[in-house]
Amino acid sequence: MSQSENAPLIGLIASKNPVPALEATVRSLFKGGASRVVVVDDGSDDAESRQVFDNVEKLGGEVLHLKRNVGKAKALRAGFWILPHNCIIVQTDDDTLSGDLTGPLDMIRTGKADMVDIRVEVVKTTSLLGLVQELDYWLINAVSKRVQDFFRARLWMSGASVMYSYEAGKVIILEISHSITEDTEGLFRARANGFRIRYYSKHSAQFLTMVPEEFKAVKKQWLRWTTGNGQVMSIYGFGGGVPRIAAVNIFSWLDTLLPIPVAIRFGLVSSATWGFAICFVFGIVGAIRLKRPMLALVGVFLPLMTVFWTYMAFWGLFRAWNMARKGQKTQHAWESPKRTAVLEPVTA
């Protein structure tokens, strides 16, 4: 499904109550190669956001105001309807900076992919929790995403750094989302419809995103991710009908549980010592690769984050199962991660 070389690249953002970071996001998209940027105001209700949207329009962006909050999935759908049919869409969040989009754009224009998941890393932080997430994001990009791309088995997609053709967008955006991770659900739908997904790992095009730097905010964000992925698996199974994706997904879950039998076999103290030592090495390598010396000191905290992620993963699975059992859907109120409230289930 090749795309015309003349197809315009258009940025698409859904935003509620944005901070001035949205202005920097729009500027970065224009600088990265977008010819047009559409921002959907998802029912913002604070006075400060009005000035931000006005500034976006002064930068050349277009703002589509919705009268009420409908959630990210529906807000993106509203923006999609006003885009030309031959365009290529680059989708991001309202607090994320784009890189040079030439590389992933060429992959779609030359027919190598219909959807490109672009590398996303973290804006430089100062808190311990932020630094650990910097290192964690680097590991995910350097290892997990590359391995999954090698097997053509992407398990999740970042709605903060993705590019896709208009035709793929019909499936990703226009079909109704049944989970709170509408981006990952869109990935499974697109693959089920024959669209090809690739990962673009080069640093030149990478997006830089803000992350929550308070434990409570991280917990809310991760619970949303894990609950949503549990919902996606309940709809599509482990692989959406593709055996290799199911195999990678099952391996990932088994890998999450691997520390338990290792600790039983070799002892908790010995296993923890080796785990901290290995992660310290990861910290040194990550510090060199990202040119962030401070990361060399936070690698030892990765095992703790891994334990916390495992806890959140199974909590999210249980939450998704319990909601399905009770016939509940999830409220789609959405804001940027720094301001995201816990998405509570509501009766269908």
Domain ranges of the chain: 9-125+148-211
Which of the four pLDDT bands, split at 50, 70 and 90, describes residue 3? low
Tell me how far apart the alpha carbons of residues 278 and 283 are, in angstroms, rounded to a whole number: 9
pLDDT of residue 4: 67
Cβ-based neighbours of 112, under 8 Å, separated by 6 or more: 106, 196, 198
Residue 24 burial (10 A CB sphere; 0-12, 13-18, 19+) = middle
Helical ranges in the chain per DSSP H: 21-32, 47-58, 72-80, 102-109, 128-139, 145-150, 166-169, 182-192, 215-236, 243-257, 259-266, 268-290, 302-325
β-pairing, 88-91 vs 120-122, is: unpaired
Q: Which CATH number fits domain 9-125+148-211: 3.90.550.10, 3.40.50.720, 3.40.50.970, 3.40.640.10?
A: 3.90.550.10
- Per-chain mean pLDDT for the chain: 88
Q: pLDDT tens-digit profile of 227-240?
A: 999 999 998 999 88
SS (H, E, C) 215-270: HHHHHHHHHHHHHHHHHHHHHHCCCCCCHHHHHHHHHHHHHHHCHHHHHHHHCHHH
Q: pLDDT tens-digit profile of 174-228?
A: 988 888 888 899 999 998 889 999 999 999 999 999 888 889 889 988 998 999 9
Q: Which two tokens stand for residue 313?
A: 């993963």
Q: Please report, as a single letter, which amino acid is at residue 242.
A: V
% of the chain at pLDDT higher than 90: 59
In the predicted structure, residue 284 carries a pLDDT above the cut 50: yes
Which long-range contacts link 276-281 to residues 24+ away (Cβ below 8 Å)? 276/300, 276/303, 279/303
Contact 16, 44 (CB under 8 A): yes
